[in-house]
Structure 1
Amino acid sequence: MDFDLTPAQRGMRDALRAFLLRECPIEYVRDCDEAERFPVELFGKLAAQGWLGLPIPEEYGGTGGSCTDLAVFLEELAWHFEAAANCYYTTVVIAADALAHFGTEEQKRALLPRLARGEIRFAFSLSEPNSGSDAASLRTRAVPDGDHWVIHGQKMFCSCAQVADYILLMARSDADAPKHDGITMFLLDPKAPGVEVRRLRKLGLKPMDLNEIFLTAARVPKDAIVGAVNQGWRNVLKTLDYERCCLSAVNVGAAQSCLDKALAYTKEREQFGQKIASFQMSRAKLADMEMEIDAARLLLYRSAGLVDRGIPNNRQSAIANLYSSEAYVRAALNGMRLMGGWGYLMEYDMQRHFRDSKLAEIGGGTSEILRIVISREMLR
């Protein structure tokens, strides 16, 4: 299998790199992290350059990029600013994918062009206080009432809800159906009556806020359903390979950033009369980081290529997601070890990677769940 990028993909990556070096300096990244604020300015500039339209079909105002195109984009963005790459996936990609595959023609024409232009943002809400890894056991209830649905319940761990114009909210619409049936995807206005969004404090990825949502008789119009009623869980399952590729790309880009920062540090830092890059223990850590990131990248682009060819790859995408997430955590940890006390200081970037990396092993499927997915596919 050929993992080389096309000339167009290399050109896109180089253009994005030049843009981010100019418009997203490290001082801006640090400011967003310390202030715990969404990178509004960066997203405005990305929209102006057309980058928000990458995952959106051309007929709806986007550029119709492939899964591999998106992986290239997210890897590069994550190298510069991992939290921004996660925000991009959360506020743009999830909605673009869901609406393009399952939205009505009216929803596509009303929402996708505005999303591509950066006029609106989305969030996705699935988890609840009692349903995390067992996501299909959600209890938030949606009941039809004339031309609306009335929703009661509580959602947890909803990223970017505070900056979203719409939340793709999963709720149980048939209480008598089996667990994986009777779930519907709704387009919820977070500012509607009966909706309360509360921000949660967390360890890392601070520019991407995390929220709990309380729903008390929140009313949603019947035409604000994405896909068919009671088919929401099937919608989610159909896009898992795509989601895992995106998350893997973020992991790979962020891990590469750890390696590049650690390598630069070891070439400059002197101890015992020599650069610490000359020590065998330092070289061993650098070699481990290089080997694992290279392997994670190959797994990522193998999976993305399968998605682009329409080949189901539940096992391959799970492997890429699992391996890349753990490789990122190890890269951040080894980066901290190589930088010693300097890496522990807030004025250096390795501590941010150390904090940010842990969510990679939790969000989008924990390492334990992904191992179950892989082994289940092996035993079919």
Structure 2
Amino acid sequence: MALEVTDAIGRNADPLAESPEQLELRAMIRSVIEAAAPVDRTLELDDREEFDEVLHKRLAELGIMSIGAPESDGGMGDIREQATVVEELAAGPTSMAINMVVHYMGVEVFSSHGSPAHKAQWLGRLLSGDAKFSFALSEPGAGTDIARGMRTSARNVDGSWVINGQKTWISGATHADVFLVVARTAPIQRSAVEGVTMFVMPADTPGISVRELPTVAVHGLSTCEVFFDNVTVPESAVMGEVHQGFRMLFGTLNRERINAAAGSIGAARGALEYAVNYANERQAFGRSIGAFQAVQHRLVDGALAIESARGLVARAAAVEAAGGRADILSSMAKVAASEAAVKVTTDGMEILGGAGFSREIPMQRWFRDVRLWVFAPLANDMVRNNLGTTLLGLPKAF
């Protein structure tokens, strides 16, 4: 049983302490992981680059897919419970945590902006786990500056929309049942965020093709290119307002950053606990290497980084759940958590030495997987640029 490093921290008096219901949810997810996705099975699926359908089905049976949707739509909980789920999954099967970040984006968009028809066709299936969602935004020539660089276009032809273009770095596209596709529907004029529209389309719509990309990490969830060749969808496929799709995504992207930060914390926590256990057990020079000051300092610094990031995530999630403005806090949380995860997993690999180089041990998987969150959903350098302007009032750097 892994040492629960962070459980040593007294949180009973913490004003941001989890509610009994959230603690119960956390315990439930841990139990599910232990039963359905133990370390050996997760490593095996990672080696085979295979999505864990068994774990996905079990999470769906427990109602985890419905977290964040309004009760009127059949949902429960909010971003705080989502972050709990993502953190716990990232401490084990990290690929499923990333799948849930994408899934919860779909829940938010369909709940907030979906038409009655969209909800009737897709939202219930997403909440029950009967359908999988993929979000097609990034493009080969546009990731950070996606609104300005977007080349995927949609033209209105005789009452239908015809979409052409290419998206890349799209998570879960190979097993998605429904895509949310963002395309330019009007030329850039005053602002690049204007003239962009969201479209809902079944993954089997004629003209859509998917190619899986060979990635260095997150092997349990496909990363893909998606091509649109004269894909024709009806007017009813528009999500929200025509030309206003990018603005509608802003709130969703805030939540994505919070969940990405929670995932970073989970993977960092899992790696730290593994490294602490290893340091206590590994003998050298007549004692455990955990007795060496250099090793202790690395592990303590990792715990400091995790807990510092955890406070930002908790604050951002609390503000978001209360309907406040969480963009600055969510950005700070994403940077702090992702960089904590990189530090902890790098130190973990070095503390384990040759053992860390083995694919039979999970440290190398955490080490690879957490690199994603340094540049996704937005590169940390760009997040810092935004914070320089929005938080510190400095001149715009881009």
TM-score, normalization: structure 2? 0.92
> Separation in 1 of the partners of 2:325 and 2:314?
14
Kindly provide the amino acid, as one letter, of the partner of residue 22 in structure 1: A
Give 1:182's match in structure 2, choosing from 185, 195, 211. 195
Cα deviation, residue 109, structure 1:
2.8
- 1:166 match: 178
> Separation in 1 of the partners of 2:32 and 2:226?
36
> Separation in 2 of the partners of 1:191 and 1:110?
15
Give 1:361's match in structure 2, choosing from 366, 369, 374. 374
The answer to whether the Cα contact below 8 Å between 1:123 and 1:158 also exists between their aligned partners in 2 is yes
Give 2:116's match in structure 1, choosing from 105, 113, 132. 105
Kindly provide the amino acid, as one letter, of the partner of residue 146 in structure 1: D
Cα deviation, residue 76, structure 1:
1.3
Give 2:244's match in structure 1, choosing from 231, 234, 244. 231
The answer to whether the Cα contact below 8 Å between 1:56 and 1:112 also exists between their aligned partners in 2 is no
DSSP 3-state at the match of 1:157: strand
- 1:339 match: 352
Moved over 4 A (4+): none
The answer to whether the Cα contact below 8 Å between 2:32 and 2:58 also exists between their aligned partners in 1 is no
- Deviation per CA, 1:102-132, whole angstroms, max 9, x where unpaired? 1112212322111111111110011111111
Counterpart mapping for 1:263-278 below 5 A: 263-278=276-291
Kindly provide the amino acid, as one letter, of the partner of residue 106 in structure 1: A
> Separation in 1 of the partners of 2:188 and 2:33?
50
- 1:73 match: 85
> Separation in 2 of the partners of 1:237 and 1:333?
32
Structure 1 residues 2 and 361: alpha-carbon distance in aligned structure 2, compared to 1, 3 A threshold: same
Give 1:192's match in structure 2, choosing from 205, 213, 220. 205
- 1:85 match: 97
The answer to whether the Cα contact below 8 Å between 1:153 and 1:216 also exists between their aligned partners in 2 is yes
The answer to whether the Cα contact below 8 Å between 1:315 and 1:374 also exists between their aligned partners in 2 is yes
Aligned-pair Cα RMSD in Å: 1.2
DSSP 3-state at the match of 2:69: coil
Cα deviation, residue 176, structure 1:
5.0
The answer to whether the Cα contact below 8 Å between 1:241 and 1:312 also exists between their aligned partners in 2 is no
Cα deviation, residue 220, structure 1:
1.4
Identity across the alignment (%): 32
Counterpart mapping for 1:90-169 below 5 A: 90=102, 92-137=103-148, 138-169=150-181
The answer to whether the Cα contact below 8 Å between 2:98 and 2:263 also exists between their aligned partners in 1 is yes
The answer to whether the Cα contact below 8 Å between 2:113 and 2:240 also exists between their aligned partners in 1 is yes
Cα deviation, residue 252, structure 1:
0.6
Cα deviation, residue 56, structure 1:
2.2
Kindly provide the amino acid, as one letter, of the partner of residue 2 in structure 1: P
Larger deviation, residues 105-114 vs 181-190: 105-114
Give 1:321's match in structure 2, choosing from 334, 337, 340. 334
> Separation in 2 of the partners of 1:229 and 1:175?
13
Larger deviation, residues 144-153 vs 243-252: 144-153
The answer to whether the Cα contact below 8 Å between 1:157 and 1:211 also exists between their aligned partners in 2 is yes
> Separation in 2 of the partners of 1:146 and 1:56?
35
How many residues align? The count is: 378
- Residue 303 (structure 2) pairs with residue 303 (structure 1): no
DSSP 3-state at the match of 1:120: coil
DSSP 3-state at the match of 1:239: helix
> Separation in 2 of the partners of 1:313 and 1:51?
24
The answer to whether the Cα contact below 8 Å between 1:190 and 1:197 also exists between their aligned partners in 2 is no
The answer to whether the Cα contact below 8 Å between 2:105 and 2:255 also exists between their aligned partners in 1 is no
> Separation in 2 of the partners of 1:176 and 1:55?
34
- Deviation per CA, 1:2-36, whole angstroms, max 9, x where unpaired? 11111111111112212221121112211220010
Larger deviation, residues 304-313 vs 14-23: 14-23
- Deviation per CA, 1:241-263, whole angstroms, max 9, x where unpaired? 21111111111111000100000
The answer to whether the Cα contact below 8 Å between 1:78 and 1:85 also exists between their aligned partners in 2 is yes
> Separation in 1 of the partners of 2:233 and 2:282?
59
- Deviation per CA, 1:117-161, whole angstroms, max 9, x where unpaired? 111111001111111110112011100122320011111111101
> Separation in 2 of the partners of 1:32 and 1:57?
34
DSSP 3-state at the match of 1:80: coil
Give 1:26's match in structure 2, choosing from 39, 64, 69. 39
- Deviation per CA, 1:278-317, whole angstroms, max 9, x where unpaired? 0001101110111000111111001001101111122111
Larger deviation, residues 106-115 vs 222-231: 106-115
The answer to whether the Cα contact below 8 Å between 2:69 and 2:78 also exists between their aligned partners in 1 is no
Is there any run of 5+ residues in structure 2 with no aligned partner, and where?
1-13, 394-398
Cα deviation, residue 54, structure 1:
1.4
Kindly provide the amino acid, as one letter, of the partner of residue 152 in structure 1: N
